[in-house]
Amino acid sequence: MSRYSVRKPTHNKETRAAERIAKMLTEDMSIDLERVGYYLVRNMPRIIYYRLETMFLSAEEESDILVAEMNKQRGKGLPAHGLRR
């Protein structure tokens, strides 16, 4: 029996949506994301832009929290990777 346990993430609508978005963004690295943004703003309803903006701001905030936690772990001499909440 391993002394490390890996929790399986719970799958709900939000985690499945995040996985689909991540997959779309990494499937083809040659896609020009600036052009995708241009077409989203020009050709889609404005609500799409506002929902993406909300998602981005949330991701940015979580990233800042995660980096702060990793730096705190690093200061204690603990490995900073594999951090879970």
The DSSP letter of residue 55 is: H
In which band, very low, low, confident or very high, does the pLDDT at 73 lie, cut at 50, 70 and 90?
A: confident
The whole domain housing 24 covers 12-44
Whether residue 53 is found in the same domain as residue 72: yes
Whether residue 39 is found in the same domain as residue 53: no
Would you state the pLDDT for residue 38? Answer: 95
Please give the Cα distance from 33 to 35 (Å, whole number): 5
- Give residue for tokens 């990233």: 63
Q: Extract the tokens encoding 32.
A: 């020009």
User: What tens digit of pLDDT does each residue of 6-63 get?
Assistant: 556 678 999 999 999 999 999 999 999 999 999 999 999 999 999 999 999 999 999 9
Q: Extract the tokens encoding 31.
A: 């896609």
The DSSP letter of residue 9 is: P
85 falls within a domain = no
34 falls within a domain = yes
State CA 71 to chain mean position distance.
19
